[in-house]
Amino acid sequence: MSETAISPELPQAKRNVAVLILAQAILGSQMSMLFVVGGLAGQSLASNICFATLPITLIVLGSMLAANPLSALMQKWGRRSGFLIGVAAGATGGAVGAYGLYLASFPVLLLGSLITGVYMSAQGFYRFAATDMASEGYKPKAISYVMAGGLASAIIGPQLVKVTSQAMVVPFLGTYLAVVALNLIGAFLFFFLDIPKPAPAKVDDKPGRSRWELLTTPRIAVAVICAAVSYALMNLVMTSTPLAVVGCGFTEGNAADVVTGHVLAMFAPSFFTGHLIARFGVERIMGTGLFILACAGVVALQGIELSNFFIALILLGLGWNFGFIGATTMLASSHTPEERGRIQGLNDLIVFGGVTLASLSSGGLMNCTGGDAATGWIAVNLAIVPLLTLAGGALIWLMLRPKEV
């Protein structure tokens, strides 16, 4: 049976989506936790505050480095194997990070962050796994439903930070230990995942397009660019947010609340993003996402009141949702099953490569471009302009091209 012939009501497909939603909700909580405390923990240990966001940068770098190997492994051994490796890395990274805080060692904290990146990479494949058993018409909805699982993580993660960040003598140690517990609990979910391993290639099978041929396909190229820009831009601003909020005179609790609002906005629209894509077309939804991201920057530049942080970060999350889910949907419908491992890993390598650069730049822009947090915050939000110009130009170019027959 061909992939397009599979019914969206297939119980196997619905069961997999349900498992992936729970994984996104429970395991995904660790990412919002680490993004809230990572920069603050780094700032407490780094000898130079310009490197405060390096713990977050190392998470993203680890994700970038793991993307291709994980994709190839899942192409050969199946999704479950890759996701369990991710969970093991999440628990290990949390434990090493906790040990780094206990020792007051910045390098050990960074090592834990790098290992955690393997989990972040595995989590990125949840959205692709949702499409493995789905028909073409069901794919955007399956992606959206799984991404909607992040709505629970948006509540669980920051609230756990409030409970755990100062629960021990060493600040943030409790948060990293909670990350270990989340991974140990969430690992059991993947034993209920039922996605067949890809069939071994036969001698007479068509190998599909090469990586270069895939990347130079217009729709794939634009999907990759828009996914990379949406994610990098979101990470650039979100990474600096806790530093900016606390630096402008507010509390760590305020910072956690702002991040909660942001992550809620990232995932809450997922309940209807797939339906919007099906109705209005993926290009329009991606364009809307890029426009909302621009609005987030405008609001952030208007002032440093707590309301500015809340509104800007909510818009940032909403724009990311439309841009990233739209780009993922465009990519998922532009390759064949035998090309899946090749292009999905390459896509995430490029996406998280851009996010790594954004995260690394975030700390420098925030802490090293002026004398105070307000000046750094302005620099961070001005930096989004060239990224949006790149993605918007690429999308307009694609929409103006003659339709491929």
- Kindly report the CA angle at 43 between 42 and 49, in degrees rounded to 5? 115
Identify whether the C-beta of residue 258 lies closer than 8 Å to the C-beta of residue 315.
no
State if pTM tops 0.85. no
Q: Residue 80 corresponds to which tokens in the numbers above?
A: 């479950």
- For helices 150-164 and 29-45, the axis angle rounded to 10 degrees is 40
Identify whether the C-beta of residue 301 lies closer than 8 Å to the C-beta of residue 244.
no
Residue in the block written with tokens 């992939």? 3
For the chain, the straight-line distance linking the first and the last C-alpha, in angstroms and rounded, comes to 25
Q: How far is CA 329 from CA 175, 224, 334, in A?
A: 34, 11, 9
Fold observed for domain 9-192+209-400: Growth Hormone; Chain: A; (1.20.1250)
Residue in the block written with tokens 């049976």? 1
- Tens digit of pLDDT per residue, the chain (405 long)? 333 344 444 677 778 888 999 999 999 999 989 988 888 888 888 888 778 778 988 998 898 899 889 988 888 888 899 999 999 999 999 999 999 999 999 999 999 999 999 999 999 888 888 877 666 677 777 888 888 887 888 788 888 988 998 888 888 999 999 999 999 999 999 988 877 776 665 555 666 788 888 888 999 999 999 999 999 999 899 888 888 898 888 887 888 788 888 878 888 888 888 889 888 999 999 999 999 999 999 999 999 899 999 999 999 999 999 999 899 889 988 877 777 778 888 888 888 888 888 877 887 788 777 678 888 899 999 999 999 999 999 999 999 988 764
Identify whether the C-beta of residue 127 lies closer than 8 Å to the C-beta of residue 105.
no
